Structure 1
Amino acid sequence: MAEKPPALQAQDKLAFLLSLVPYLMDHDRVSVQAVAEHFGVPQDQIRSAVRLIAVSGVPGETSQYQHGDLFDIAWDDFEDNDQIVLTHLVAIDDTPRFSSREAAALIAGLQYLSALPENGDRDVIGALMAKLSRGSSGSPSQVAVAGSASDTTLALIRTAVDEERQIEFEYVDSRGEHERRRVDPLRIESVDQDWYLRGWCHLREAVRTFRLDRMSGLEVTGEPITHRAGEITLPERLFEGSPDDLTVVLDVAASAMPLLADYLPDAQPVPSGKGRVEATIRVAHYHGLKRLVSRLPGVVRVVSPPEARRVIAEWADAGAAQYPRAPSAGTG
């Protein structure tokens, strides 16, 4: 004969009810059996808890419990069909809510996350978006996040990683050279708004890092990969130097140094006063500095060599020339 489960203490009953009410709110209609299986308790315990919920609430202005101050359920469904449907909630609408604009912003962010291949559990993200829609103070604005070419590339690479297949693509390296690469994809990583693939390059016969927006014509081949992530030690840094790299000295705000961690060699930055430091970085060519400087305006200044300063100055002048100059003020 099966032993009767021990009776719940008052504290346990409260914890159970605090879990049960949100669960029932998230399920418009649910059977007693399904709820019992979810919480791992007998069905009679669920029925008793539902009856207790139906006589619970918050007293109104009269300090007495009126009909509208209590939870309510669809009693016919409960008694005849063993189905639980909450028909009236109390003390729920008094909680702080997101504004419709805040909810729309969060939903837009969740839509973007759900589109990324590494976020496989899209059901959870979808349920959270539905909660935000129901729980905001007004109906959120309808928003949609447009996809990009990188989203398609990410999806293809994720497929190749999952199926352990090689990929081929045209790649434009940092020097502007075009090459066809065949790669064993090992890991996808992001830095700021850019996505990178780390993999074993069959052309270079070594681990290489590829920026996704420089790829084109990507294909997942039928060839299995020959190198796996568990068999290769990937460098801790996303960007690794090479003997052909050029060195550049920068004057940088000390607080911005963590943003340059992937570019720095082993040499330590030297304090230069007023919260700034001089740091030496390695780049494939001086034109690669343009992206770095444009992202950190006023924070990074190229100190040397003169050729690097010249490249950045010409690039800045060319950009400024695209804007019309304000007319000079006349003299009286």
Structure 2
Amino acid sequence: MSARPMQAQDKLAFLLSLVPFLIEHDGVSVTDAAARFGVTPEEMRTAVRLIAISGVPGESRQYGPDDLFDIDWDEFEEDDRISITHHVAIDDSPRFSSREAAALIAGLQYLSSLPENADRAALASLTAKLASGSTGGPAAVAVSADGGDARVAPLREALLARRRVSFDYRSAQGDRERRLVDPLRIDSENQSWYLRGWDHSRGAVRIFRLDRMSALTVTDEDSSTVAADVQLSDALFETSPDNLTIRVELPESALTLLGEYLPDGTRTAPGSSADLVIATLRVGHFHGLKRLIALLSGVATVLDPPEARAAVADWAQRGLDQYTHTASSTDAASSDAASSSSADK
């Protein structure tokens, strides 16, 4: 028995779901169909009779024989089974192209490889529907479950088993510290992998780059914090009012390269020339700013605050000094070799 009488919107959703089900399960019994949708057999029979007088009018705006659904009435009335013998409009719905289906299937394969989506039957079912519902057979694609980092596999196992992990971590500033973490989620961005976890030494959620981890150990301790206990944003990195505010000048066409460094609703100001704009960024520390400017070498210029300009200039100068030192050493070695050669002669 249905738990409550269906409202109008419930009936519409029920009928829209029922038609594809009946087409896919040809000859299903009324009892089985009713159980599948949680309605009574009589409610199912009423719905089938309604479907049988539904359709799409033709070009004349009149209903012809081919414009209505039809069922096998003998089988329905005598055997209490439902078989749709004619359907309309279903095949006219938009369908993905083979390339679109292949792209979506690749995305689903990637999602299936993530720990939080492991063994998800819904993803497998959707993949199968995409493969069969495209305009042509989708191109064969395969997304490896291997994250390209040896630390992904043990972290994935720890996350699924809800086990705490410990590892030595090198921060962006170069500091090293042993961390004890409850894994919450594994993400990838721009070919880098990250672990979001509850850091027991900080008492908060922290993000760790896998390539900065060493001596990773999956402990025998159960995690005290899981993903359901905290609110994890879909965005891997989010700006905070506590971040440093930096103004940079760059071509307007390069704004998209700043990604999540730009706060929502950012407005730009005219730059020093017609093709340049000034944008305000938020960064957690100057080290992160140096890394960003290195990626935008020759494209972005830091304007202020002065401390930011000094930090970037000092970092660039130290890098240049390394090249100068290497070049001087090479010249000295060459000079020594030449002198030795002359002496031998």
If the length of structure 2 is used for normalisation, what is the TM-score? Answer: 0.61
1:140 deviates by 1.1
1:210 deviates by 1.5
Q: Contact 1:133 / 1:140 at 8 angstroms: preserved in 2?
A: yes
96 and 152 in structure 1: CA distance in 2 versus 1, 3 angstrom threshold:
farther
1:280 deviates by 7.8
1:211 deviates by 0.9
Name the % identity. 43
1:36 deviates by 1.4
Is residue 184 of structure 1 aligned with residue 181 of structure 2? Answer: yes
Q: Indicate the residue corresponding to 1:200 in structure 2.
A: 199
Is residue 119 of structure 1 aligned with residue 117 of structure 2? Answer: yes
1:167 deviates by 0.9
Of 21, 24, 29 in structure 2, the residue corresponding to residue 23 of structure 1 is 21
Q: Indicate the residue corresponding to 1:293 in structure 2.
A: 293
1:145 aligns to what SS in structure 2?
Answer: coil
Q: Indicate the residue corresponding to 1:147 in structure 2.
A: 145
Q: Contact 1:117 / 1:154 at 8 angstroms: preserved in 2?
A: no
1:293 deviates by 3.5
Is residue 310 of structure 1 aligned with residue 314 of structure 2? Answer: no
1:222 deviates by 0.7
Code of the residue aligned with 2:105 in structure 1: it is I
Residues 41-100 of structure 1: CA deviation (Å, up to 9, x unaligned): 22022134334434554566897744x655455678756765545454322112222111
Residues 223-269 of structure 1: CA deviation (Å, up to 9, x unaligned): 245778899999x996999xxxx99985467856772269xxxxxx9
226 and 196 in structure 1: CA distance in 2 versus 1, 3 angstrom threshold:
closer
Q: Indicate the residue corresponding to 1:221 in structure 2.
A: 219
125 and 47 in structure 1: CA distance in 2 versus 1, 3 angstrom threshold:
same
261 and 309 in structure 1: CA distance in 2 versus 1, 3 angstrom threshold:
same
Cα RMSD (Å): 5.2
2:115 aligns to what SS in structure 1?
Answer: coil
| Mapping for residues 20-169 of structure 1, pairs under 5 Å | 20-27=18-25, 30-54=28-52, 56-58=54-56, 65-66=64-65, 70-73=68-71, 82-86=80-84, 88-119=86-117, 122-149=120-147, 153=151, 156-157=154-155, 159-161=157-159, 163-169=161-167
Which segments of 5 or more consecutive residues in structure 2 lack a partner in the other structure? 304-308, 324-345
Please state which structure has a larger fraction of its residues in helix.
2
Q: Relative to structure 2, which stretch is displaced further, 251-260 or 159-168?
A: 251-260
- For residues 120 and 231 of structure 2, the distance between their equivalents in structure 1, rounded to whole angstroms, comes to 31
Q: Contact 1:115 / 1:151 at 8 angstroms: preserved in 2?
A: no
1:118 aligns to what SS in structure 2?
Answer: helix
1:276 deviates by 0.4
Code of the residue aligned with 1:188 in structure 2: it is R
Code of the residue aligned with 2:278 in structure 1: it is R
178 and 27 in structure 1: CA distance in 2 versus 1, 3 angstrom threshold:
farther
Q: Indicate the residue corresponding to 1:259 in structure 2.
A: 260
196 and 166 in structure 1: CA distance in 2 versus 1, 3 angstrom threshold:
closer
- For residues 226 and 59 of structure 1, the distance between their equivalents in structure 2, rounded to whole angstroms, comes to 61
1:219 deviates by 3.4
- For residues 92 and 82 of structure 2, the distance between their equivalents in structure 1, rounded to whole angstroms, comes to 24
Q: Contact 1:247 / 1:282 at 8 angstroms: preserved in 2?
A: no
Q: Contact 1:252 / 1:279 at 8 angstroms: preserved in 2?
A: no
Number of matched residues? 298
- For residues 229 and 15 of structure 1, the distance between their equivalents in structure 2, rounded to whole angstroms, comes to 32
